[in-house]
A and B are shown apart, each in its own frame.
Chain A
């Protein structure tokens, strides 16, 4: 239900992969002398990699400042990329339920509605636990739910109750149909909050 940085990761990996592959192939072409055979203007395989004096290149203050800036940029990008891996709830902030701000404003925290949905789902038979979060806006709400059911629960029964009671109730409260709903089902061996079937053992006497 939480959101991951899949698209960002794929994009960055493709960019870095192409850069590394292109750099590696270029180095191999230069090392083998193939590049010079193709274009005599390029360096020969026997020539040194570093032609100038490194101390002279990194001597000026501007070069040192560039190293500093490059370090800060690389470090910041690395840190942001690492932080982006934390799964995000990305829930809606507050729904603005009013029509005309001049006559008063009505704000509803989306987490309050989420809690109401969770409580209602928790009363359904076979449900072990639930978490719900709302995204979108007050006019185009989107509901995402994670519902954990007991491993002997009737899944279709739970889904039917959610579709016929929970979602319509939320739509009634918001006075608009939900633009999109998502239900992620998990299964657990724990007992359901209500409607638990109890395993019993005993001896049958004839």
Chain B
């Protein structure tokens, strides 16, 4: 099931849906273990395990229009929709594209080259350069694939001018880092009283 072909895959990718897969894999494993245990028990002792008696009796007395059947049908439909949504909603890319800029435009390398910067890396880089701006007390940042949001704390009372300076500085810095396209920068500046 896993790749062992020694081939590269894109570094910039969408989420791998590991959480729903782990949940379903665990449920499958648990169901498999329960079935094997029940089958082994009946093969050794000749009797089905006692925990199956309850579901058996419930199933025997069940009609199709029973509220329990309605509930099972509705639950299965909802679970099916959730699984389809988990598989089909693409999700956000893990990283932003970067371009190696030469003196005269992008540098040519031998083969196709993919340069990416993870969202976390962009956020850290933006926050670090934001903290270099005069007037910024502390800064943190969050990055999506298209935008970077800065949370800035300052000792200044007038925050509007600082916001413009911070956005201009970080925007220039991300552009000079080679991010292509340059993410939109937004900032919320909080004055420390």
Contacts and interface: CB of A to CB of B under 8 A. Distances in A.
Interface of A: 1, 3-6, 8-14, 16-28, 30-33, 43-50, 54, 58, 61, 64-65, 67-68, 70-86, 88, 90-93, 135-137, 142, 144, 151-152, 155-156, 159-160, 163-164, 167, 171, 177-189
Most buried by A among B61, B98, B100: B100
A13 B27 contact: no
B128 A152 contact: yes
A138 to B, nearest CB: 11
| Size bracket of the B interface | 35 or more
Given A67-B35, A135-B8, A185-B116, A21 B80 contact: yes
A48 B113 CA distance: 63
B101 interface: yes
B101 A156 contact: yes
Contact of A90 (B3, B30, B70): B3
A185 to B, nearest CB: 4
B72 A27 contact: yes
Given A5-B21, A182-B116, 18 more contacts: A4-B13, A4-B16, A14-B84, A16-B80, A21-B76, A24-B76, A24-B78, A28-B70, A31-B70, A50-B62, A71-B32, A71-B36, A78-B25, A88-B3, A136-B6, A144-B11, A156-B176, A185-B116
A185 B78 contact: no
B1 A163 contact: no
Nearest to A168: B110
B87 A13 contact: yes
User: Main secondary structure on chain B at its contact with chain A?
Assistant: helix
B18 A186 contact: no
B27 to A, nearest CB: 7
B121 interface: yes
Contacts, number: 315
A180 B112 contact: yes
Interface stretch (B38-46, B151-159, B160-168): B38-46
B35 A70 contact: yes
B98 A155 contact: yes
A174 to B, nearest CB: 11
B87 A24 contact: no
Contacts of A152: 128-129, 132
B124 interface: yes
Contacts of A9: 16-18, 20-21, 87
